């Protein structure tokens, strides 16, 4: 493996997904983000948290499914629309409650598959799809899903809680397969028993309620280290990570592994004394968990490999979210 090539590949992968448009949205909508005075977190978390009193918060998130995924494999698009939303709630230490969707349908032939994928996703995660809106005579195919969850206010896992001196942990279910049509889709749920899949969501609530992590995020489109960088930016810290400590399925090369969207995977930070308990709890549910590095003050994400060391992201030079500019 050429370490420098890997670093370049990861930088460019996340760089491509950076969109200036997102800045415009967050800037404009930021004006009304907390207009009611009940919103707890800032933009940039996996879900928003709204205080409803009695130490309870409502979590709310939305995800759109990539149009091309719908065309190539509508069943898998429907299934993944559930998975990505459930993981957003799990990452916050919350219980997923229900989803709604909006569908625009151009090709009637993809319709049955799309719906069946949604149904099978709901069954796998035991979260209902309770309604939505249909544009039946659309000129395009699109599927957007929103999810609501519930959590305890005092035990929320957020992106912004990492502190200098904390350890960085990566938890990935390494028992899976690259999806035959989408190599970057590390599927760990489809062929797995639904009880175990649901327990992987529940154990996140358990470590949250035991106040074990200081921060956390589910590994999504930006891959393992891109997701970590987003967490670092939200927390206003940096990290130094050892590449070879990151749990990996040895059948998948590093470059694909680190860019993959896994079915069940989280980056977490925690005080050193809590790491073993996190590892023990998550390991019981098919997660491969390891301490992979340290949180540092300098706002850079360093990646180490043997004697080599590179700056993967620098919040002054190539941040992902640009939230600190």
Residues that bind a copy of itself (CB under 8 A): 19, 21-22, 24-25, 28-29, 31-36, 38-39, 43, 47-48, 50, 52, 54, 56, 58, 60-64, 66-67, 97-105, 111-112, 115-116, 118-119, 122-123, 126-136, 138-140, 142, 144, 146, 148, 150
Nearer of residues 238 and 319 to a copy of itself, judged by Cβ? 319
278, 237 contact by CB (below 8 A):
no
Smallest distance, a copy of itself to C-beta of residue 316, A: 24
Measured from the CB atom, the residue of 182 and 257 that comes closer to a copy of itself is 182
Task: Tell me the closest approach of the beta carbon of residue 283 to a copy of itself, in angstroms.
Answer: 27
Residue among 115 and 323 whose Cβ is closer to a copy of itself: 115
Q: Residue 176: how many CB atoms within 10 A of its CB?
A: 24
CB of 74 to a copy of itself, least distance (A): 13
Count CB neighbours of 101 within 10 A.
Answer: 24
**Separation CA 34–CA 51 (nearest Å):** 11
Given the complex with a copy of itself, which of 72 and 130 has the nearer CB atom?
A: 130
Smallest distance, Å, CB 200 to a copy of itself? Answer: 17
Whole-angstrom distance, CA of residue 213 vs CA of residue 145: 28
Between 60 and 311, name the residue whose CB sits nearer to a copy of itself.
60
* Bridge partners (DSSP) listed for residue 187: 177
Q: Which is nearer to a copy of itself, 34 or 163 (CB)?
A: 34
Comparing CA positions, the residue from 300, 303, 302, 295 lying closest to residue 324 is 300
The Cα–Cα gap between 254 and 28 comes to 38
DSSP states along 235-297: HT-EEEEEGGGS---TTS-HHHHHH-EESSEEEEEE-HHHHHHHHHHHHTTT-EEEEEEEEES
Nearer to a copy of itself, 19 or 297 (CB): 19
The DSSP symbol for 110 reads: G
Task: Compute the least distance from the CB of residue 79 to a copy of itself, in Å.
Answer: 12
Shortest distance in whole angstroms from residue 22 CB to a copy of itself: 6
**Which one, 134 or 183, has the nearer CB to a copy of itself?**
134
Instruction: For residue 11, give the nearest of 163, 226, 286, 297 by alpha carbon.
Output: 226
Smallest distance, Å, CB 146 to a copy of itself? 3
Report angle CA 35, 38, 143 to the nearest 5 degrees: 80
- Given the complex with a copy of itself, which of 6 and 82 has the nearer CB atom? 82
Q: How far is the CB of 227 from a copy of itself (least distance, A)?
A: 16
Contacts of residue 81, Cβ cutoff 8 Å, sequence gap at least 6: 63, 65, 101, 117, 118, 121, 143, 145
Which residue matches tokens 């600190």?
324
Task: Quote the strand ranges of the chain, DSSP E.
Answer: 48-51, 56-65, 95-104, 129-135, 142-152, 167-172, 177-178, 185-187, 215-218, 238-242, 261-262, 265-270, 288-296, 300-305, 308-314
Q: At its nearest, how many Å lie between a copy of itself and the CB of residue 307?
A: 40
């Amino acid at each position: 493996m050429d370490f420098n090539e890997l670093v370049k590949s990861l930088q460019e992968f996340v760089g491509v997904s950076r969109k200036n448009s997102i800045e415009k949205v967050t800037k404009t909508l930021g004006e009304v983000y907390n207009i009611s005075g009940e919103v707890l977190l800032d933009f940039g978390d996996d879900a928003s948290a709204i205080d409803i009193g009695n130490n309870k918060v409502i979590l709310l998130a939305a995800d759109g499914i990539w149009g091309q995924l719908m065309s190539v494999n509508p069943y898998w698009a429907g299934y993944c629309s559930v998975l990505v939303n459930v993981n957003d709630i799990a990452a916050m230490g919350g219980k997923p409650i229900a989803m709604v969707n909006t569908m625009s349908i151009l090709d009637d032939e993809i319709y049955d598959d799309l719906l069946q994928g949604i149904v099978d996703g709901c069954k796998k995660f035991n979260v209902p799809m309770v309604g939505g809106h249909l544009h039946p005579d659309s000129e395009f195919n699109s599927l957007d899903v929103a999810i609501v969850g519930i959590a305890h206010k005092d035990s929320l896992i957020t992106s912004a809680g990492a502190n200098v001196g904390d350890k960085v942990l990566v938890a990935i279910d390494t028992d899976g397969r690259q999806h035959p049509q989408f190599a970057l889709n590390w599927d760990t749920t489809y062929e797995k028993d639904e009880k175990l899949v649901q327990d992987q969501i529940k154990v996140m609530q358990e470590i949250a309620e035991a106040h074990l992590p200081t921060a956390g995020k589910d590994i999504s489109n930006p891959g393992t280290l891109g997701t970590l960088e987003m967490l670092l930016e939200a927390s206003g810290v940096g990290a130094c990570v050892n590449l070879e400590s990151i749990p990996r399925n040895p059948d998948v090369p590093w470059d694909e592994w680190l860019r993959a969207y896994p079915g069940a995977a989280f980056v977490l930070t925690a005080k050193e004394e809590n790491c073993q308990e996190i590892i023990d709890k998550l390991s019981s549910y098919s997660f491969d968990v390891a301490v992979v590095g340290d949180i540092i003050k300098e706002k850079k994400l360093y990646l180490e490999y043997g004697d080599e060391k590179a700056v993967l992201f620098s919040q002054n030079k190539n941040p992902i979210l640009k939230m600190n500019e």
